[in-house]
Amino acid sequence: MKNNEPRNEVVAQTYDLLNLDQIEEARKVIGKYARRTPLVQSMFLSNNVAHADVYLKLENMQLTGSFKFRGANNKINHLSDEEKKHGVITASAGNHAQGVALTGKLSGIDTTVVMPDEAPQMKRDATRGYGAEVDIHGATFDDAHDWMHERAEKEGKTIVDPFNDSLVCAGQGTIGLEILEDLVDVETIIVPVGGGGLISGIATAVKSINPSIHVVGVQSENVHGMKASVDAGKIVKHHDDFTLADGTDVAVPGDITYGIVSKLVDEIVLVSEEEISKAMKDLMQRTKIVAEGAGALPTAALEAGKIDKKWIEGKKVVALVSGGNVDLQRVSQIIDHFFSPVDTHKVGIG
């Protein structure tokens, strides 16, 4: 967000993309299905890492193990009967896939999910388990996303985009409302960023109510299309290598999310693969929370000191654990990485 723009005016400028009324309406829609997830203080992160009051918003305990259920559910429940009749299609590395698949099962709608080759096996299996057709296509999420559009056009299916949709963003924004209700004086909120739907919704929700809240996005050094775009002042692509944070492996953000993030998000910081793996290990070992790579990004940023201390020390901070859908094989590799003499390059760490 530009420092010379009044905060209230900046929030108002995004209303044509997303607004608080849409988020409050989304909460009414998804309230029949979605869980209100806990906000718990981490004494380890508070006392040993950040020297602040650090709370974890546990979206790993949401239905399907990820925040993605919120946005998918809100979008599908807003479709017309005609749109539902043709079935829905999406692209996802796994979490949005499960949110769409479960909502489709609950609503009696046919669902198709395009997943890239790099999608973890457990996320493929879980998506099929909810009744969706899984179409493995392309090396990366962006390849799968392109194929989603092609299939939708050929087959007349209704697209449920994983992030670049105001209704999807509104569903994710309900997390921001819950945070403010549970911790009214929160000062800093740290959010994982991929395509930007999650942070767009949360930033819109919290800054509409309290514009002084500092919102920080976190991405992997290896894949950070949103930060690269914000830095460039236009939408650009960034994808260097594999990332443990597969849920945020999006090289190119959407125009809706880019528009919101560039206005409302105060900063985006980057963390390394080593820092992500350490955060996953520490969340398991010290807080007893299983987080996937994307879900560990905010903790990684705190542990690595990537956020200026003026926004952290002595503050009330919320770090979002966005999901917990991680392969047990990946967990085993991380444990071996930190506690056994292994070649970490063989397991994609470091």
Q: What is the largest distance, in Å, between two alpha-carbon atoms of the chain?
A: 57
Alpha-carbon distance 211 to 199, whole Å? 15
Of 39, 91, 99, give the one whose Cα is nearest residue 65.
Answer: 99
Is 227 a catalytic site residue? no
Instruction: Please tell me which residue in 166, 262, 277, 322 is annotated as part of the active site.
Output: 322
Is 322 a catalytic site residue? yes
Q: Which amino acid is at 128?
A: R
Alpha-carbon distance 314 to 84, whole Å? 49
Instruction: Please tell me which residue in 42, 66, 68, 220 is annotated as part of the active site.
Output: 68
Q: Which two tokens stand for residue 259?
A: 């528009």
Provide the 10 A C-beta neighbour count for residue 4: 5
Collect all residues with Cβ–Cβ distance below 8 Å to 168 and sequence separation of at least 6.
Answer: 71, 72, 74, 75, 160, 161, 162, 197
Collect all residues with Cβ–Cβ distance below 8 Å to 137 and sequence separation of at least 6.
Answer: 114, 115, 116, 143, 144, 147
Catalytic annotation, residues:
68, 322
